[in-house]
Amino acid sequence: MTRQSPGGENRTMIPLLLDCDPGIDDAVALGYLMCQEDVEVVGIAASGGNVPTAQTALNALSWLELAGRGDLPVHPGAELPLAAADGTFGAPPLYADTTHGPSGTGHAVLPSPRTTPSDISAAEAWVDAARAHPNELIGVVTGPCTNLALALELEPDLPQLIKRVFIMGGAFNYRGNTKPTTEWNIDHDPEAAARVFSGFASAQHRPVVGPIEATEAIVMTPDRISRILHGTSDPQWHNWLEHLAEALRFYFEFHAADGHGYLAQLHDPYVLAAGLQWARNPACTGGIPWAKTALAAVDVELQGSLTRGETVADWLGRWGAAPNAELIRHVQAEDFLHHLETTLMKGPTYDHAR
């Protein structure tokens, strides 16, 4: 679709829906998104994951308003994972307060937003956006897949309506960051991820999945966030980045306590950026930007007493199933980090944001 820019020229716009659970690296992804001049953000869906749904919606509203984008709708997602909601598993969901802080914003204290969440649920927002932008919408999921799975129930033709879905999640033949073999986003709602992998097997473009064995190479350091802070000249954006730096300070401390060093693994911004770069040139023979990928049939373990939530790729074709996902196996981390740094340093174009 096209839209007229502030200068009067017509610009091809990318319609995008971001389903996130802010969360510190989700906040970095939101900041990156605010800096994109050719993206029509049709909505932000808030999922429970890093913190409960009500808090992720509040965090999204606060980060957006602080960035001058309080006009963007934030759609509240389901309060519980699918299996908890239907009583299959009685245990309450776990949240990542030790990783992201009790409120999901680390050490950052965000101003209370003046806006409130939309009356339209996250699942309904997925369906509405796909119907409004058939075969144009880019969907990015940086939290659990709960909302997208519920949207599939509302509209089974969703895989044919969305241009492509990009998902941050999973650990394929790799140690987990939740249980020994599971990654947080998938482990929080395994049933939802399984439904999405199955449902989108019929999509024209296979979902792109960024698992932790690839995305943990995207490392933010104190030096890099300091360069970003000192490289921006817009006072409003500098204020946003100062809050982000405080959030990241908590993330640095967590990673140091976990044995990784005083740094922060930023899983979510890469998956969002790869989706946008692919959308700008889907016919590119280079494939997914900054990445080496592989096609595989994938599924999620739902029963194992030790492995529930583990993502499994059938590399040898033993299932006899066609590939239903494109998995990111390696990321050119420094190239992407340079791109992320320069993008955040540039900041949003505020007159375009309105």
Strand partners, 138: 16, 164
267 catalytic residue (yes or no): yes
Instruction: Name the active-site residue from 19, 21, 25, 128.
Output: 21
Judged by phi (left if over 0) then psi (alpha if -120 to 50, else beta), residue 32 lies in alpha
> Pick the catalytic residue: 133, 188, 243, 267?
267
φ, ψ for residue 258 (rounded to 5)? -90, 0
Which helix (DSSP H) or strand (DSSP E) does residue 244 occupy?
helix 235-257
Residues 350, 67 contacting (CB under 8 angstroms): no
CA distance 152 to 5: 34
H and E: helices and strands count for the chain = 15, 14
Residue 202's contacts (CB-CB under 8 Å, 6 or more residues apart) are 159, 160
CB of 29 within 8 A of CB of 269? yes
Q: What is the spatial distance between Cα 100 and Cα 49, in angstroms, rounded to a whole number?
A: 11
Contact 212, 170 (CB under 8 A): yes
Which structure tokens are listed for 63? 């980060």
Nearest to 212 by CA among 189, 193, 184, 187: 184
Burial class (CB in 10 A: 0-12, 13-18, 19+), 229: middle
Say whether 188 is catalytic.
no
What the block records as the tokens of 253 is: 């401390």
Largest CA distance in the chain: 59
Residue 119 phi/psi, 5-degree rounding, is: -80, -10
| Rounded CA separation 114/119 (Å) | 16
| Residue 30 to residue 49: CA distance in whole angstroms | 16
| Residues recognised as catalytic | 21, 267
